[in-house]
Structure 1
Amino acid sequence: MPSHLSRRNVLLAGAAAGSALALSAAPAHAHRRPHRPFGRHGSPSARLTPTTLYVHPRGAGDFTGLQAAVDAATGTGRTLVIAPGVYRETVSVPADRTGMTWIGASGDPRDVVVVHDNAAGTPKPGGPYGTSGSATTTLRPDGFTARRIATSTAVSPATNSPAVGTPCCVSTPSAGANAARSCTRSSRHSRAPSTSWAPPSPGCMPARTSAPPPSSPASTGSTHARRVAAAGWSMGGYRAWQAAALCDHVTAAASVCWMSGLKQLLMPGNNTLRGQSAFHMLHPGLARHLDLPDVAGIAAPKPMLFLHGGRDPHFPADGVRAAHDRLRTVWRSWDAEERLRLRVRPDHGHTFDSPMQDETYAWLDSVLHP
């Protein structure tokens, strides 16, 4: 691996060791500040509004889990204030919870994390979860808002379907829903200080507040305007090349396991016809004018990587070949074919395992730090 990107993303958490208490003439509680797990957002004994509920992982709120709070928050306009903690669960918000708001109590999205380990290929009775069924957080109501919350999918490579590189595992079927504004990836890699990874999903922003969105790539001194890239796996891969095509500030993109000719996807049994990954069809009428690789081609001549598995059941080999041929034609027309990397790993399926991660991150490092 290049020196810029390590093999592990190590999260450091401060731990307080035991400390000796010295005797003092002043009372021990003289300067002690009251513990406020919900910060300035009230508490169960002093609610912001009558419709506000409080979630705390160790029982200081109304509920210890988000799904239980969502189930209890019937009606419209309800607010959940969520204390710092790691909430290991899947959460599904029904469509009738319109206008619901989630608030991370600490103000830092890294403190409030919703995480689970379902992947598209994770087995369950009746078959695997599938793309949309494996979401950690599913949001169906109109008018939903989340502030300072991180949601992630933590999948072991042993499942052969890790979610590493997926910008965010949040499903928002409702066109009117505002997706969580602070999301994080479950990447096992660290990022170079001078590199910003733009969030491919319009509804997902990185949890690190130091990494600005594509609309302002150089808003901090740690981000170089020419080192903003989008990367993703599966539907995250689709969002990555779409972000590169539509945003001038995204200077490169890596898409893993999401590119094909549309015609080849419209086959019986494919996820596109089952609704599992039909989110890419939310641009009405576009397919009458442009095929999928044509849309990705709008990004030319930016550096682009399209990496696929030869045994991917969701993307037929003839569809991948057709898309690659079209992409080569577009980049060649710009005299920039060397900036386009098209790769198929014959023995891989719909996955983003360690070898594919190594290849993707090494390529991104080479184009962002030439």
Structure 2
Amino acid sequence: MTSPVPRMDEALLRSLTPSVLGILVRRGADFAAAEDAVQDALVEAVRVWPADLPRDPKGWLVTVAWRRFLDATRADAARRRREDLVDEEPAPGPTPAGDDTLQLYFLCAHPSLTPSSAVALTLRAVGGLTTRQIAQAYLVPEATMAMGAPPGRRLGEHQPCQAHGLRRAVSTGPATSPPCCASSTWSSTRATSGDVDLAAEAIRLTRQLAAAIDHPEVAGLLALMLLHHARRATRTAPDGSLVPLAEQDRGRWDTGSIAEGVEILQAALARDRLGEFQAQAAIAALHADAPTAEETDWVQIVEWYDELVRLTDSPVVRLNRAVAVGEADGPRAGLAALAALDDSLPRHAAVAAYLHERDGDPATAARLYAEAARKASNLAERDYLTRQAARLNARRCR
């Protein structure tokens, strides 16, 4: 769908899209064909509804989308084998009240999809965003984001894998902060496309997921996203440059999101089924709870990283743990923890630079900051690291 949605209809259409799409899939349409049909129906709604809003908007969309699907199916010779599924249009009447959103989450999070594809498909199918809006937010061509569901798969297959992919889909990409970033130096910037804020969309979709699945890890994911989102306004300066955690204006943090995230996290932890998202949220909560950077409880943060290592044994977690150890026990302890890790890890050089600077070795720190800048994955991070190297070199030349 490429036509813009009027403001007065945007929220309504977006909220109805998952249910309408799910109904078509349940009736036998494959995902890609159903999505095309629903997008056609949404375009028609944009044209018709401002002058004549139907009494049953969801039923109207289902009827129009199903007819579009039938028309496309009958017109396409390659799809004639599906005719036995769509010979007769169901009798008119009220649409089912069931919510198919969870099934769409599972389909969008299929393990055969790449992380970026899973994110984009979730935002399209469940979030109601257009391919163009998502592509603009990711700063990639629209064609790059134009993908479909994996062929030959039905809803409900391999649900354990889908559940893991589902968490991946709503926690990856520009919509959220990178997990386990103890130093909070490298946090994602605001991802928007026109009036669409992908971070807000990710939180909205995760709220839906938490309402549909009573699981402490889903609650932990929601808490994590709220706690990261609460600090987002202070992570970049007006010129777009990164602001490290210690320099952020804590008075501008969103205390409402922090309180909600902490409350959700505490309820999840009370169920005594610890998972990686709950542990990550606990680390974020400790950062959010500190009145100043100097009052951060780094000892407890290290303990939570120990839990994350036990749960995931991830080298990225171990890298961030080294930062926390450096804050809790001193830079040399942090460097000792870092020495056990592969120096080809992303941001390894940046962490080493930070710890060497704190250990009073500006020459090594400057060299490592410059190395990290050359390896940086985005311009804001590269600029920040370059400035750190220049700052230390200028100090040495005085």
Q: TM-score, normalised on structure 2?
A: 0.29
The normalised TM-score by structure 1 is 0.31
Larger RCO of the pair (alpha carbons < 8 Å, separation 6+):
1
Structure with greater proportional helix content? 2
